[in-house]
Amino acid sequence: MKLHALSVDPGSGAQGGIASSNQITLKLEQRQIVLIKKLAVKNSNLANIYYGALWALQQEENPDRLALAAHDFRELMEKFPLYVNIGIRPSVSMGSKVNELKTLWTRLINSHRWQDKLWEGLIDVNIAELLRFLDSFFEWHEKEVPSKTDKVIQVFRELDPTKRKIPYSLEKLNAQFWRTMNEYFQGVSHHGNTNTSYDEFCEYVYSLEQFLIERIERRTFDDHSEIDSIINKE
């Protein structure tokens, strides 16, 4: 999917506009224009999802606009790692592992020692093999299937061009911030958060926008002279 006949016009002051092919103008803040451009560089699908969310949010005549916009914001957060090519999926699927386990289990329950869902006798080769597999399975799961918090941390580690380590406790705070925003948009999209207001919704949108802007293609300084020029302006 591509951006359909969109043109970004910074305009005057803090706002700009994006005109679609039907000539309806979507009014945007400068940060939103910046984020659309950043997302488009990563993947045009991300820019489209974000653009759709903003479009839905500005449909004042639509009584369900918050839920529609929330759905797109939730999709943006969910699809973000995939579209920026950050590998957070295990190298082997859970289905493959379960099939391996099922094979061992089927072999075990077909043994004459398995009677009325009870094992009779000493541990034989079938049980020993199953126990070894379970040990390797849980080791694999811990390594290859991280928690939701660790998945978010991994995403933003990969986005950081400097690759500098920060304390894990701070990474967890960022991950919790991300998950709180995601849970909010998910609740609104499913009409579960009926008490939210337009103003509160926009505060969450602003927080998400700033969070992404600060982490996508963060600016680096080429030399000390540029840093000095900025300091001298203070």
The pLDDT assigned to 33 comes to 93
Classify residue 57: in a domain, yes or no.
Answer: yes
Which domain-ending residue is among 102, 118, 144?
A: 144
The pLDDT assigned to 166 comes to 82
Of 175, 123, 168, nearest to 148 by C-alpha is 175
CB atoms under 10 Å from CB of 189, counted, come to 19
Report how far residue 153's alpha carbon sits from residue 17's, in angstroms, rounded to the nearest whole number.
Answer: 34
- Residues 226, 153: one domain? yes
Spans of the chain, pLDDT less than 50: 1-14, 19-23, 86-88, 90, 221-224, 226-227, 230, 234
What total of structural domains would you count in the chain? 2
- Residues 68, 119: one domain? no
Report how far residue 200's alpha carbon sits from residue 192's, in angstroms, rounded to the nearest whole number.
Answer: 15
The pLDDT assigned to 206 comes to 96
Show the domain range for 156. 7-86+148-233
Classify residue 1: in a domain, yes or no.
Answer: no
> How many CA within 13 A on the CB side of residue 126?
17
- Residues 62, 170: one domain? yes
Classify residue 2: in a domain, yes or no.
Answer: no
Q: Are 59 and 53 in contact (CB under 8 A)?
A: no
The pLDDT assigned to 48 comes to 94
Residue 217 backbone class (left: φ over 0; alpha: ψ -120 to 50; beta: rest): left
Threshold 0.75, pTM exceeds: no
